[in-house]
């Protein structure tokens, strides 16, 4: 089943800009004489089976709500919808706009329930629900000038200037090939994002290694090596001083090294997963140990960076080298049994199609990856900006996180295809000995180090249950030393939650795995049931974990690198400044 691409839907919208026929085709206002929903008929005519009893109940409920809606409309008693897209007073000031919003929401609820009632395996039903939700979100009356009273009022008040600016914004974004989420002129990598002081102390064709300048008189003997995802730029961990996880780690007395992945071009079109492990993570571990003089490091991986790092540590373990004194994994998947909504993009046919086009060489464009992630939150990352930038002619405000979000990276085709098949599709990585990487059999359970695993409760990319599953894979010989922390919010906002802000909350459960060697931690839901909520950031919990495994305190070095690995250039380095587009 082909998934609708929200960017393509947006482009289709752009080509018509505000054609009310589009709205009328998909979501007609309910008519008491003919209340059938057009998309419902399309879904039934497609051959997809829906339980007749469930369908009859849905239709009866729909007809009852249509009748009630018309009664409320005729009596001027339409209640304001509980949806922020229609929260502005203009929607209620115009009775037809109020009816349009209420009708849309009624049809949307019916279609969503209809998709959920489809008689199909769970995975296929999820795909159908996702596709229907994409269309539902795209056809909101807020997305069209002809049915958006806020945009119409703006048009009148500005004497057409808002429409003129909106068209200019539209043309500019069409040239970029993406929707502008932030005022990109407000930021520059190395000037006001990614500003933590340090030096690039090593580089190869795949990455640069940054060593950050200590800010304390003494540091923990063991350094901290941070491996961010290669799907995004590393500076999500070093946005600005007040929300920089890198700076926080330095301030806690850690000698911090960080991998800055290169944004692949054609010269890396044949790079494999093995290369990211051997030439990437393993090489970074080697250099960090050589410069620090420590036999082991505190190893840190974020998202797919954590998957790469864990694979690298397992490869080293197979070679008889336990490189990590501790392992931190933030929103990382090692067990891919539950990948949430991302499952809709991955099945045998889709992976085989990618392999046919990319496995022998080529690049997975960063723009395509960004579009995939936007599809998970289209109202927030697509349609919100269609309404604001194009319909109302507004400029997006500066926002460092959204600037980073638009700074996408490419991926080498062979590496990407290996990753899709062996993790998301076949879930091979968690099986001891199933995979051979860089010449060694991979057994994640052979990594002999305590782990700190973090998951975000509202994460739609790495569901927290899936992040917790790493607790049952890693360090099985000493499970009592492992620690799991659950944070509030999502994949990024949950992680970037500065300790100084005192925002949000997190959960811990001090109950240890019971029994001796091979003891397992409690199941996910049992863990949460016994967990305690704490206000504020989880960062201090992590800092205490690092200090526990950091070794003795030693005098901080003022000179970065060493005789073998001399500074190449100042942080953040040039690799991170290369844009995919």
Q: Where are the domains of the chain?
A: 6-155, 198-357+410-577
* DSSP conformation letters of 198-232: EEEEEE-SSEEEEEEPP-SSEEESS-EEEE--SSS
* DSSP conformation letters of 86-137: G-STHHHHSHHHHHHHHHHHHHHHHHHHHHHTB-S-HHHHHHHHHHHHHHHH
Six-digit token pair at 508? 């811990």
pLDDT of 99 = 92
Q: What is the 3-state secondary structure (H, E, C) of 563-580?
A: CCCCCCEECCCCHHHCCC
pLDDT of 34 = 44
Which active-site residues does the annotation give? 303
Degrees, nearest 5: CA angle 105-388-28: 30
Six-digit token pair at 504? 């949000």
DSSP type of residue 322: -
Six-digit token pair at 36? 């059938």
| Contact indicator for 473, 336 with CB cutoff of 8 Å | no
Asked, as a colleague might, if the bond just before 118 is cis with ω within 30 of 0, I would say no
Query: In the chain, what are the helix, strand and coil shares in percent, each to the nearest 5?
Result: 50, 15, 40
Separation of alpha carbons 330 and 455, rounded Å: 6
CATH classification (class only), 198-357+410-577? alpha beta
Six-digit token pair at 95? 């009775």
pLDDT of 35 = 44
pLDDT of 18 = 36
| Contact indicator for 556, 515 with CB cutoff of 8 Å | no
pLDDT of 38 = 45
Query: Half-sphere exposure of residue 422, counting CA atoms within 13 Å on the CB side?
Result: 21
User: Residues of the chain whose pLDDT is less than 70?
Assistant: 1-48, 512-519, 581
pLDDT of 518 = 54
pLDDT of 39 = 44
């Amino acid at each position: 089943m082909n998934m609708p691409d929200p960017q393509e839907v947006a482009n289709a919208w752009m080509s018509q800009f505000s054609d009310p026929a589009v709205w009328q085709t998909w979501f007609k206002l309910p008519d008491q004489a003919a209340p059938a929903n057009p998309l419902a008929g399309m879904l039934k005519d497609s051959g997809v089976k829906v339980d007749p009893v469930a369908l009859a109940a849905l239709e009866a409920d729909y007809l009852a709500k249509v009748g009630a809606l018309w009664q409320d409309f005729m009596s001027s008693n339409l209640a304001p919808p509980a949806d922020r897209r229609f929260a502005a007073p203009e929607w209620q000031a115009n009775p037809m706009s109020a009816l349009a919003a209420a009708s849309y929401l009624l049809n949307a609820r019916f279609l969503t329930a209809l998709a959920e009632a489809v008689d199909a395996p769970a995975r296929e039903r999820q795909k159908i629900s996702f596709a229907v939700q994409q269309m539902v979100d795209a056809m909101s009356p807020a997305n069209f000038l002809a049915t958006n009273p806020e945009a119409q009022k703006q048009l009148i008040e500005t004497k057409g200037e808002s429409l003129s600016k909106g068209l200019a914004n539209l043309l500019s974004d069409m040239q970029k090939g993406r929707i502008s989420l932030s005022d990109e002129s407000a930021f520059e990598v190395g000037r006001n994002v990614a500003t933590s002081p340090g030096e690039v102390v090593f580089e190869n064709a795949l990455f640069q290694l940054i060593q950050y300048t200590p800010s304390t008189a003494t540091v923990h003997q063991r350094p901290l090596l941070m491996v961010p995802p290669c799907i995004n730029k590393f500076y999500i961990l070093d946005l600005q001083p007040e929300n920089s996880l890198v700076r926080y780690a330095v301030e806690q007395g850690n000698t911090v090294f960080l991998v800055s992945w290169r944004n692949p071009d054609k010269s890396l079109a044949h790079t494999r997963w093995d290369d990211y492990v051997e030439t990437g993570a393993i090489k970074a571990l080697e250099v960090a140990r050589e410069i620090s003089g420590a036999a082991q490091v505190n190893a840190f991986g974020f998202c797919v960076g954590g998957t790469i790092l864990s694979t690298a540590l397992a490869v080293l373990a197979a070679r008889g080298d336990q490189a990590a004194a501790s392992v931190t994994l933030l929103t990382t998947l090692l067990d891919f049994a539950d990948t949430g909504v991302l499952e809709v993009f991955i099945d045998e046919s889709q992976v085989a199609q990618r392999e046919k086009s990319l496995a022998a060489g080529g690049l997975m464009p960063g723009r395509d990856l960004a579009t995939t992630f936007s599809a998970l939150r289209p109202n927030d990352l697509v349609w919100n900006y269609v309404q604001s930038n194009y319909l109302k002619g507004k400029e997006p405000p500066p926002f460092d996180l959204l600037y980073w979000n638009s700074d996408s990276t490419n991926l080498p085709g062979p590496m990407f295809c290996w990753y899709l098949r062996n993790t998301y599709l076949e879930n091979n990585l968690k099986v001891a000995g199933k995979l051979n990487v860089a010449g060694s059999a991979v057994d994640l359970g052979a990594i002999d180090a305590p782990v700190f695993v973090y998951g975000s409760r509202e994460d739609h990319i790495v569901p927290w249950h899936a992040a917790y599953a790493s607790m049952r894979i890693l360090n099985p010989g000493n499970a009592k030393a492992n620690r799991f922390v659950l944070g509030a919010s999502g994949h990024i906002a949950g992680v970037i939650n500065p300790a100084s802000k005192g925002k949000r909350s997190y959960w811990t459960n001090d109950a240890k795995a019971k029994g001796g060697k091979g003891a397992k931690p409690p199941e996910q839901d049992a863990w949460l049931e016994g967990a305690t909520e704490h206000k504020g950031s989880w960062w201090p919990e992590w800092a205490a974990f690092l200090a526990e495994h950091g070794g003795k305190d030693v005098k901080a070095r003022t000179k970065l690198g060493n005789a073998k690995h001399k500074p190449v250039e100042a942080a953040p380095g040039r690799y991170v400044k290369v844009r995919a587009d």
